[in-house]
Structures are given as structure tokens and as C-alpha cells.
Amino acid sequence: MNHVTPLSRTQSFASLLIDGPASRTREEERLHRKQRLAATFRLFGRAGFDQGLAGHVTARDPEHPDTFWVNPLGRHFSRIRVSDLIRVDHTGAVVEGDQPVNRAAFAIHSAIHAARPDAVAAAHTHSTYGKAWSTLGRLLDPLTQDACKFHGDHALFDDYTGVVLEQSEGARIADALGPNKAVILRNHGFLTVGETVEAAAFWYLSMDNAAHTQLLADAAGTPQPIPEDMARHTAGQVGGARSGLLSFQPLWDLVVAQEPDLLD
Ligand SMILES: [Zn+2]
């Protein structure tokens, strides 16, 4: 499967500014997404986002867009390699790989990928700050420049009905997500989507950080949000898909240098 030269190991930041999915073959694009997906799990593991069997990040297959690559059930994020990823079809069947899929991963992500053709990737874990924020039942405020990337671009799924096992529940979450880059699942956690694996992963890391920041600020006093017009202006500056893609690159460089086995 990994006979294609991993362009990514040596890909420079400068070349990333020029190269894009359009310049890759389907095989190269598949490998690109799988490598970023494996790196995302390593980064999420470092961030402490693992929580037992919970958490999944998916990448749509470039050749069979009604299927997606995902982590196998029960493997710690910090150990995931490219060869561990499994591909799941629109019925929930594993069509590549021999590991089981998390049923909630299928129920949620299949609905998201179906509802959002632009979403190449979706990320969801039970990270601590996202989970803590989700209990408040409200959106994040534009308290900082970084948080502005979610201003006017995230939604609230204001319901909790147990572990998501049915596609109909996944569809309700996709409905709540709408055209946004993220949705807060009440009493559950965050979910982000991106036009690239890189963007979905970076949005997740950044949103958990925004929740952490607001929880600290709210606990310390009465934080002053950025005024609406300036928050919207800043969102345009820091919230674009390209910004997410490029922001992931230093993390990718670091984790591949330190844990090259993730590419196996
Ligand atoms: Zn969950």
C-alpha cells in the first residue's frame, strides 16, 4: 500500500505553498491523506486527547468518496501508523484493513461526510477542555485572535441522547454543524471538519485551546470579547482553509521527525 514515494517526508513548507491536491495523482493524494491522518493521531495522543475507546478522525478516500479512512477501534492514538488505518464504506463495512471500526465513528462521520461534500476530514475526540466547555451549552466567544477563527463558524448541537450509534443521530449532528467548521456536541465534546486532513486536525487542536483559554479567562474574571466587527474581520484573516493547512505544517514536520514509524 505504501509503495508510493512519501512525498511528504521531504516536502518543504515552500513547496506546500505551491503544491496542492490538484497536483497529486489519486494514489499520491490517498497516501498524503493517510499520512496526515496517522500524524494527527500522534499529535492528538501527545495532547492527551485519547480517552479509552473514544475519538475518531476520518479522511475521505479520493477515489471512492463515499468511503473514509479512520482509526481502528481500540488502538491508542500514540501508536497509530499509516498501515493501521482502515477504510469504511457507507454501510459501515470495513473494506480495507482487518481491524474493527468504532460504531459511533461510523454513525457520526458517515453522516458528516455525506452532508458536507467539501469536508475531506472530520475530527472528534473526548478532549478535556472541549468536553468541559460542551457542558455549558453555548458557543465560544471571540476572546482572542486565535478564537476568532471560530467566530460565526461553529454551531451547537444542543442535545444529548447517549452514545451515538445510529446514523439518524449522526444526521442530526450533521444538520447542526451546517456549513460551519465545527460543532459543539453538548455534554460530549467538539467535532471539526476541514477541506484537508491538516485543517480539520488544526481546527480541533485550536478549538480545544480556545475552550481552555476561555475557561481560564472566565474563571479569572470578566473577559472582554473582541467587538463584533473586528471579530468578523479577524475570522477572515485566520479562519480560512489555507490557514488551517499551513498551521498544521510545523506540527507535521515535528512529529514525522520524532516518530517516523507513523509513516509505516
Ligand atoms: Zn464521542
Rounded Cα–Cα distance for residues 243 and 240 (Å): 5
* Alpha helices in the chain, H assignment, sequence order: 7-10, 13-18, 26-46, 103-115, 128-134, 167-177, 197-220, 228-238, 241-258
Q: How many angstroms separate the alpha carbon of residue 108 from the centre of ligand 1?
A: 9
Rounded Cα–Cα distance for residues 110 and 187 (Å): 21
Q: How many angstroms separate the alpha carbon of residue 53 from the centre of ligand 1?
A: 9
- The reported pLDDT for the residue numbered 163 is 87
Q: How many angstroms separate the alpha carbon of residue 126 from the centre of ligand 1?
A: 6
Q: 124 with 97: CB under 8 angstroms?
A: no
Q: How many angstroms separate the alpha carbon of residue 31 from the centre of ligand 1?
A: 26
- The reported pLDDT for the residue numbered 22 is 73
68 forms beta bridges with: 60, 88
Q: How many angstroms separate the alpha carbon of residue 167 from the centre of ligand 1?
A: 14
The model's pLDDT over 54-70, given as tens digits with 9 standing for 90+, comes to 999 999 999 999 999 99
SS3 100: coil
Q: How many angstroms separate the alpha carbon of residue 86 from the centre of ligand 1?
A: 19
For residue 192, how many C-alpha atoms fall within 13 Å in the half-sphere facing its CB?
Answer: 27
Q: How many angstroms separate the alpha carbon of residue 188 from the centre of ligand 1?
A: 6
Q: How many angstroms separate the alpha carbon of residue 87 from the centre of ligand 1?
A: 19
Q: 191 with 104: CB under 8 angstroms?
A: no
- The reported pLDDT for the residue numbered 5 is 41
- The reported pLDDT for the residue numbered 161 is 86
- The reported pLDDT for the residue numbered 90 is 87
Q: How many angstroms separate the alpha carbon of residue 175 from the centre of ligand 1?
A: 17
- The reported pLDDT for the residue numbered 165 is 82
Q: How many angstroms separate the alpha carbon of residue 104 from the centre of ligand 1?
A: 7
- The reported pLDDT for the residue numbered 7 is 44
Q: How many angstroms separate the alpha carbon of residue 124 from the centre of ligand 1?
A: 6
- Low pLDDT (below 70) residues in the chain: 1-21
Q: How many angstroms separate the alpha carbon of residue 5 from the centre of ligand 1?
A: 34
Three-state secondary structure of 9-75? HHCCHHHHHHCCHHHCCHHHHHHHHHHHHHHHHHHHHHCCCCECCECEEEEECCCCCCCEEECCCCC
